[in-house]
Chains A and B, each alone.
Chain A
Amino acid sequence: MLPAFIMATALAVSLPSCKSKPSDADIQTKVQTAIAATPGVSADVKDGVVTLSGLVSSDAEKTAVETAVNNLKESGVKSVVDNIEVEAAPAPAAVAPAADALSQGVADATKDFPGITATVADGVITVTGEIEKSKVQTLKASLDALNPKKTDMSQVKVK
């Protein structure tokens, strides 16, 4: 009776420690599935420590990948080292609307024509004021070179 009890106890105590520890290769497989949704990210596993690296386009993506891998604790992930880099956001100037470029271009083009005022709306340049005949072509060519939808000079008075 006694030996059987001791054996049963010994068995009960020893069982958890007998449960095989997941290998790094097993963990790698699980991690690979978790990061598959985010191209550009790769993972290295060593002694259960997962190191993430690569390039993503936003902080949100970086956090999502890190969380997904952290949730694999039951599969043997001990900790996560997140070395993922986030791509720099494009400079604001690059997304400036074309309308501003046209307005700036019109301001540059009309600077040397003191009697002339030009406004931009919906890609159409509307010109008013007075100008010498010898300068009309330069003004028109300068404005047309900005590729507007139309250069309306019908209100211009030519001296």
Chain B
Amino acid sequence: MSALQDKYKELIDTVNASGVTGAQINETDGVLHITGTAPSADVKNKLWDIYGKIDPNFLTGDVVMNVNVATAVAGAKVKVVTDSTNLNIRKGPGTDQPIVGKAAHGEVITLVGKANDQWWLVRTNDGEEGYSYSQYLTPVE
């Protein structure tokens, strides 16, 4: 086991023990790449908590972690997890696209589909539909 894998042993062990599907842990040029699909948002949050405990504020840059959540599928309810502000809903997938609506912090809306990992097509309860940035949306379990 490399020094890097030793440093992040708790994180790697948790990935392997938490039902993360398609988990891949590769070390390339001194960076540990962790990808996979967590069974729930709770597991994903737990992984980020452990990562943040080992490397406070994620400043070292020796890990790239990209973990999706299995329950984030079309038709699922997702919660707006912005810091405190409203979430922009845009006409297309990109910040250069015009804003066609907003979802409030904490509001639960519907995931309609995914343009890519970053931009999800969503619909509010008022029927507003458009693309929002996926990092501010978490599946409601």
Binding site for B on A (CB under 8 A): 104-105, 107-109, 111-112, 133-138, 140-142, 144-154, 156, 158
Contacts and interface: CB of A to CB of B under 8 A. Distances in A.
Nearest to B87: A112
B52 interface: yes
A141 B135 contact: yes
B52 A137 contact: yes
Contacts of B59: 153-154, 156, 158
Contacts of B73: none
Interface string B95-120: 10000000000000000000001100
Contacts of B117: 145
Contact of A149 (B29, B48, B66): B29
Contacts, number: 66
Interface string B48-80: 100010000111110011100000000000000
B8 interface: no
Contacts of B6: none
A150 B29 contact: yes
Nearest to A138: B135
B135 A153 contact: no
A142 B58 CA distance: 12
A148 B61 CA distance: 11
Given A137-B48, A149-B31, A108 B95 contact: yes
A141 B57 CA distance: 11
Contacts of B64: 144, 147-151
Contacts of B65: 141, 144
A133 B135 contact: no
Contacts of A153: 57-59, 61
